[in-house]
């Protein structure tokens, strides 16, 4: 870090500390040395536990770019990364619509991928943590957009099915620094499970669309 | 039937209770616990055990509680009775495995009032029954238990 | 008790944050606020302060000593007002320490306990509470009413703040999360749980000033170290070391952002 | 061993507000412990509140009262300096008690 950066940081810090009414954005654009520091600190101060191993700190190109550019990488890079991420989606052969009832259970469940989750136990999609889906479920999060009536609004064409499957499998393929986890790409949900969630979103009989 | 109730029904005052030696020693209460009422698996049976199956709805029985509880492990409930001569207040949570949760007896020196935290296993009607002059008066209120966020 | 075990994202079960999701029905919000107010009024939190005080004065360890001579930053044995200045730089360890790490230091130096033994139960559960979390309740309670005043004057303090800031926004792990994934935007919630923006004073103040806290979901006293630990669990990261420099730095970032807020804890949270 | 217990009583317009907190697990018997086995029922069944030695409230409670119970009561005719005594007894026969001066 050079002197000017230090000064900027110091000023920013002072501004944050001094001024509660008009705060500046404290989010840094991570430099190469910041990224190295983050990597070193996480590897020094964290330890593997259960299924959460240290390779979770291996940044892929998407995570790296989103950290470097505050979730807003230059257009060329964003395009290249998105193309890469699209390519990483494994679309299944044939039907993309599974069982909406199973999809509902997956959408409700927040299990999976934490150090307290047992290996081999069924993961959930945690959908309700961030999205409204069925109007019958009052306890829903708002970090993501409401998906109420998702299929009713968009129809149930094969293009929509493909988009929905892809978005759940790898949100970064459509918006490179999307805050949404890459449910298929990260190994959280299986192909079968994603199809069930697609059905939950698109099936006209699903409570999401009723 | 516990000590206070017996004394009160007999019209005994505090002096009589003192004289009876109820308050003299360490283990100061008679440790009755209504097994039948607390062991009842539905509120109908619990109310019957309390002799309160014919309780009438009353606006003088007051329940103060949040309509939505973010966590069923702790649901604060404040209950009171303005029925003159109220001697006991019972709290029942309909959907719990054993609905009867509390039965408090009050001497004339105490306000028939109680604040308590209870566990509610799922969204449920909470019923409060006050007893005065051998009659029972009831009020009820629905409490919704939501699915929590994280951190459980 | 619940049909669904806790869920995916991160939560600092923030205090009574004032943030409204657009789709959040007003009466629902009002009822939840009422619930939060009532659980705070009916909180047994003072019990834990009492138990913690007992542990503070209890002689134990190879040196059969209490913690009463522990220097929390204001001099040996001064508890009153100490919490609101933590984390801070300590000369004897040449390190920035938060309350938990400082207590650990005192357990090792004053009581002669090993780090391994003293950290055996840093977080309690329903079967067995944690000594550390009781102690934290006592010490924090002794700062009630004092404004949070965490210094960044020492170079190691400002470095800890900077590190904490970077850790807060760093996206990594299986789900590409950072702390800011959940605590970065106004008016958001996970399920029904409102999420304060912890990188800004408006969100950090009410949240930080009410930790440590009694959690009604498991009827346990919980420390800030636990709060961070459980956030990282739900971020799908590996586990942070107890009282590690990273967790102290993050606490520093949150605490400095909450500066000037009167301390109101230990709080009571869902 | 019974844990901590604490009571507070404040009087206003002749009515004392009594608040008592007790450390107790209030085990329902339906919770599984970290060893995967059900934790046996263990809960307070009886509570007595006295004013200067006279019983004023007597309560019976079930396992559905929350862990670390907190109760509030109101007593008439209390004045500053009066003593409020509270005791409990659980299903294992353990007891605890505490006293507070009305302030």
B18, HSE (Cβ side, Cα atoms, 13 Å): 8
Of D66, D20, D72, residue with least CA distance to B79: D72
The reply to whether residue C191 touches residue B146, judged by beta carbons under 8 angstroms, is yes
CB-based contact, B12 to chain D, within 8 Å: no
**Which residue is closest to D25 within chain C, CA to CA?**
C126
Rounded (10°) angle between helices C131-141 and C99-109? 110
A85, HSE (Cβ side, Cα atoms, 13 Å): 29
Integer Cα distance of B72 and B92 in angstroms: 15
At residue C164, φ and ψ (nearest 5 deg) are: -60, -40
Integer Cα distance of D12 and D14 in angstroms: 5
CB atoms closer than 10 angstroms to residue B63: 16
Give domain status of residue B150, yes or no: no
Q: Could you say which residues from 17 to 36 on chain C have a Cβ atom under 8 Å away from some Cβ of chain D?
A: none
Minimal Cβ distance to A26: which of C195, C199, C246 = C199
Structure tokens at C59: 């002689």
User: Do A and D touch (≥3 CB pairs < 8 Å)?
Assistant: no
The reply to whether residue A141 touches residue B150, judged by beta carbons under 8 angstroms, is no
- pLDDT score for C126: 76
Strand (E) positions, chain C?
88-90, 95-97, 188-190, 193-195, 213-215, 220-222, 239-240, 267-269
Minimal Cβ distance to B103: which of D51, D60, D85 = D60
Structure tokens at C103: 């207590």
Integer Cα distance of A84 and C26 in angstroms: 44
- pLDDT score for B22: 42
- pLDDT score for A21: 43
Integer Cα distance of C156 and C62 in angstroms: 32
b or e along A86-110 (b: 16 or more beta carbons within 10 Å of the residue's beta carbon)? eebbeeeeeebbbebebbbbbbbbb
Measured in residues, chain B has a length of 152
Structure tokens at B65: 């509680």
A100-209 topology per CATH? Cytochrome Bc1 Complex; Chain D, domain 2 (1.10.760)
Q: Tell how far CA A200 is from the center of its chain.
A: 19
Instruction: Specify the number of domains making up chain B.
Output: 2
**Which residue is closest to C50 within chain D, CA to CA?**
D4
Q: Is residue A44's pLDDT more than 80?
A: yes
- pLDDT score for B103: 97
Q: B68-69 and B135-145 as β-strands: parallel, antiparallel, unpaired? A: parallel
The reply to whether residue A110 touches residue B150, judged by beta carbons under 8 angstroms, is yes
User: For A171, which DSSP code?
Assistant: G
Integer Cα distance of A110 and A128 in angstroms: 8
**What ipTM does the predicted assembly reach?**
0.81
**B100 and B118: one domain?**
yes
The reply to whether residue A129 touches residue B146, judged by beta carbons under 8 angstroms, is no
Q: C188-190 and C193-195 as β-strands: parallel, antiparallel, unpaired? A: antiparallel
**B18 and B62: one domain?**
no
Rounded (10°) angle between helices A61-68 and A32-45? 120
**B38 and B24: one domain?**
no
Q: Which residues pair with B64 in a beta bridge?
A: B78
Chain D residues inside the 8 Å CB shell of B71: none
The reply to whether residue C47 touches residue D25, judged by beta carbons under 8 angstroms, is no
Per-residue pLDDT band at D40 (split at 50, 70, 90): very high
Give domain status of residue B151, yes or no: no
Query: What is the count of residue pairs from B and D with beta carbons less than 8 Å apart?
Result: 126
Strand (E) positions, B9-123?
56-57, 61-64, 68-69, 75-81, 86-93, 100-106, 110-118
Structure tokens at B138: 């009831």
**Which residue is closest to A135 within chain C, CA to CA?**
C23
**B19 and B75: one domain?**
no
User: Do A and B touch (≥3 CB pairs < 8 Å)?
Assistant: yes
Q: Could you say which residues from 195 to 214 on chain C have a Cβ atom under 8 Å away from some Cβ of chain A?
A: 195, 199-202
Q: Tell how far CA B18 is from the center of its chain.
A: 25
> Can you give the pTM of this predicted structure?
0.84
Tokens 């009694």 -> residue: C214
- pLDDT score for C231: 97
Chain A residues inside the 8 Å CB shell of B147: 128, 139
The reply to whether residue A139 touches residue B146, judged by beta carbons under 8 angstroms, is yes
D6-101 topology per CATH? Immunoglobulin-like (2.60.40)
The reply to whether residue B119 touches residue D45, judged by beta carbons under 8 angstroms, is no
**B59 and B27: one domain?**
no
Q: Tell how far CA C147 is from the center of its chain.
A: 16
CB-based contact, A73 to chain C, within 8 Å: no
Q: Is B19 exposed, middle or buried (0-12, 13-18, 19+ CB in 10 A)?
A: exposed
b or e along A40-73 (b: 16 or more beta carbons within 10 Å of the residue's beta carbon)? ebbeebbeebebbeeebbebbebbbbbbbbebeb
Tell me how close the Cα of B57 comes to any Cα of chain D, in angstroms.
23
Domain range annotation of chain D: 6-101
The set of residues, in sequence order, having a beta carbon less than 8 Å from that of B31 and lying 6+ positions away, is D45, D46, D89
Integer Cα distance of C44 and B92 in angstroms: 23
The reply to whether residue A13 touches residue C162, judged by beta carbons under 8 angstroms, is yes
Answer yes or no: are the C-beta atoms of B143 and B126 closer than 8 Å. Answer: yes
Q: Is A7 exposed, middle or buried (0-12, 13-18, 19+ CB in 10 A)?
A: exposed
The reply to whether residue B148 touches residue C191, judged by beta carbons under 8 angstroms, is yes
Tokens 């206070």 -> residue: B4
Per-residue pLDDT band at A19 (split at 50, 70, 90): very low
| 3-state DSSP of A98-163 | CCHHHHHHHHHCCCCCCCCCCCCCCCCCCHHHHCCCCCCCCCCCCCCCCCCCHHHHHCCCHHHHHH
Cα-only R_g, chain B: 17
Minimal Cβ distance to B74: which of C31, C39, C191 = C39
**B3 and B15: one domain?**
yes
Answer yes or no: are the C-beta atoms of C195 and C183 closer than 8 Å. Answer: yes
Chain C residues inside the 8 Å CB shell of D70: 42-44
Integer Cα distance of C73 and C128 in angstroms: 30
Integer Cα distance of B97 and B105 in angstroms: 24
**Which residue is closest to A40 within chain C, CA to CA?**
C246
Q: What is the mean pLDDT of chain B?
A: 82
The reply to whether residue D46 touches residue B119, judged by beta carbons under 8 angstroms, is no
Minimal Cβ distance to D55: which of B29, B74, B98 = B29
CB-based contact, D60 to chain C, within 8 Å: no
Task: Render each residue's pLDDT in chain C as its tens digit; 270 residues.
Answer: 333 333 332 232 332 233 334 345 678 778 888 888 898 888 899 999 999 999 999 999 999 999 999 999 999 999 999 999 999 999 999 999 999 999 999 999 999 999 999 999 999 987 788 999 999 999 999 999 999 999 999 999 999 999 999 999 999 999 999 999 999 999 999 998 889 999 999 999 999 999 999 998 888 899 999 999 999 999 999 999 999 999 999 999 999 999 999 999 899 988
Chain C residues inside the 8 Å CB shell of D67: 126, 219
Integer Cα distance of B70 and B144 in angstroms: 9
pLDDT in tens, A158-204: 999 999 999 999 999 999 999 999 999 999 999 999 999 999 999 99
At residue D81, φ and ψ (nearest 5 deg) are: 100, -20
Give the three-class secondary structure for C131. Answer: helix
**B25 and B40: one domain?**
no
Mean per-residue pLDDT, A71-86? 97
- pLDDT score for C25: 64
Give domain status of residue B13, yes or no: yes
- pLDDT-above-70 percentage for chain A: 89
The reply to whether residue B96 touches residue D53, judged by beta carbons under 8 angstroms, is no
DSSP string, D56-71: EEEEEE-TTBPSS-EE
Domain that holds residue B133: 34-145
Integer Cα distance of C41 and A175 in angstroms: 45
CB-based contact, C29 to chain A, within 8 Å: no
Tell me how close the Cα of B150 comes to any Cα of chain A, in angstroms.
9
Q: Give chain B's residues under pLDDT 70.
A: 1-31, 147-152
Is C106 among the residues known to form the active site?
no
Q: What is the CATH number of the domain that holds B100?
A: 2.60.40.2470
A23-32, A142-151, B27-36, C139-148: least confident range: B27-36
Domain that holds residue C254: 3-269
Q: What is the CATH number of the domain that holds C49?
A: 1.10.760.10
Integer Cα distance of A148 and A150 in angstroms: 5
CB-based contact, C75 to chain D, within 8 Å: no
């Amino acid at each position: 870090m050079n002197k000017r950066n230090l000064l900027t940081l110091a000023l920013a810090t002072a501004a944050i500390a001094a001024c509660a009414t008009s705060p500046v954005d404290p989010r840094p654009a991570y430099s190469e040395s910041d990224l190295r520091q983050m990597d070193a600190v996480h590897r020094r101060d964290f330890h593997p536990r259960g299924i959460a191993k240290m390779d979770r700190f291996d940044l892929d190109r998407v995570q790296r770019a989103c950290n470097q550019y505050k979730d807003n990488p230059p257009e060329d890079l964003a395009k290249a990364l998105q193309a890469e991420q699209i390519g990483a989606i494994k679309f299944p052969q044939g039907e993309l619509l599974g069982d909406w009832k199973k999809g509902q259970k997956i959408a409700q469940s927040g299990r999976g991928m934490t150090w307290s989750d047992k290996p081999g136990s069924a993961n959930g999609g945690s959908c309700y943590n961030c999205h409204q889906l069925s109007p019958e479920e009052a306890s829903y999060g708002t970090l993501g957009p409401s998906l109420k009536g998702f299929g009713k609004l968009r129809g149930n064409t094969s293009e929509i099915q493909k988009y929905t499957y892809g978005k759940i499998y790898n949100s970064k393929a459509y918006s490179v620094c999307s805050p949404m986890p890459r449910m298929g790409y990260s190994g959280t949900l299986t192909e079968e499970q994603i199809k069930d969630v697609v059905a939950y979103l698109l099936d006209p009989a699903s409570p999401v669309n009723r | 039937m516990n000590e206070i109730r017996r004394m009160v029904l007999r019209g005994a005052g505090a002096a009589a209770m003192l004289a009876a030696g109820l308050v003299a020693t360490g283990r100061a209460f008679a440790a009755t616990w209504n097994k039948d009422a607390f062991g009842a698996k539905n509120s109908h049976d619990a109310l019957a055990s309390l002799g309160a199956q014919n309780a009438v709805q009353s606006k003088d029985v007051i329940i103060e509680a949040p309509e939505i509880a973010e966590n069923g492990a702790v649901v604060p409930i404040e209950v009171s009775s303005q029925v003159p001569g109220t001697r006991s207040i019972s709290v029942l949570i309909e959907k719990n495995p054993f609905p009867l949760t509390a039965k408090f007896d009050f001497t004339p020196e105490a306000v028939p009032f109680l604040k308590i935290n209870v566990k509610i296993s799922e969204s449920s009607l909470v019923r409060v029954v006050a007893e005065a002059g051998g009659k029972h008066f009831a009020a009820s209120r629905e409490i919704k238990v939501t699915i929590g966020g994280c951190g459980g | 008790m619940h049909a669904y075990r806790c869920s995916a994202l991160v939560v600092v079960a923030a205090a009574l944050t004032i943030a409204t999701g657009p789709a959040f029905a007003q009466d629902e919000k009002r009822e939840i606020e009422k619930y939060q107010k009532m659980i705070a009024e009916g909180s047994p939190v003072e019990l834990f302060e009492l138990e913690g005080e007992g542990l503070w004065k209890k002689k134990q360890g190879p040196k059969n000593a209490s913690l009463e001579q522990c220097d929390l930053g204001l001099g040996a044995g001064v508890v009153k007002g100490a919490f609101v200045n933590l984390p801070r730089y300590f000369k004897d360890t040449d390190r920035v320490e938060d309350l938990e790490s400082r207590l650990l230091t005192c357990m090792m130096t004053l009581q002669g306990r090993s780090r391994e033994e003293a950290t055996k139960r840093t977080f309690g559960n329903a079967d067995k509470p944690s000594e550390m979390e009781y102690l934290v309740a006592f010490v924090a309670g002794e700062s009630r009413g004092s404004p949070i005043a965490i210094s960044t004057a020492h170079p190691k303090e400002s470095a800890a703040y900077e590190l904490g800031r970077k850790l807060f926004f760093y996206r990594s792990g299986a789900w590409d999360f950072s702390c800011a994934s959940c605590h970065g935007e106004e008016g958001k919630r996970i399920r029904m749980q409102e999420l304060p923006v912890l990188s800004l004073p408006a969100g950090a103040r009410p949240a930080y000033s009410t930790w440590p806290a009694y959690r009604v979901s498991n009827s346990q006293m919980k420390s800030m170290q636990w709060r961070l630990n459980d956030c990282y669990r739900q971020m799908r990261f590996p586990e942070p070391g107890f009282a590690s420099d990273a967790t102290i730095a993050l606490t520093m970032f949150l605490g400095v952002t909450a500066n000037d807020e009167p301390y109101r804890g230990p709080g009571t949270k869902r | 061993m019974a844990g901590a217990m604490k009571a507070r009583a404040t009087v206003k317009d002749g009515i004392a507000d009594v608040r008592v907190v007790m450390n107790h697990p209030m085990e329902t018997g339906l919770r599984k412990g970290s060893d995967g086995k059900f934790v046996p029922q263990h809960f307070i069944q009886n509570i007595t509140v006295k004013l200067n030695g006279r019983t004023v409230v007597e309560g019976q409670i079930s396992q559905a009262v929350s862990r670390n119970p907190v109760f509030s009561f109101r007593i008439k005719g209390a004045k500053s300096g009066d003593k409020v005594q509270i005791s409990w007894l659980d299903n294992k026969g353990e007891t605890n008690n505490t006293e507070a001066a009305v302030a």
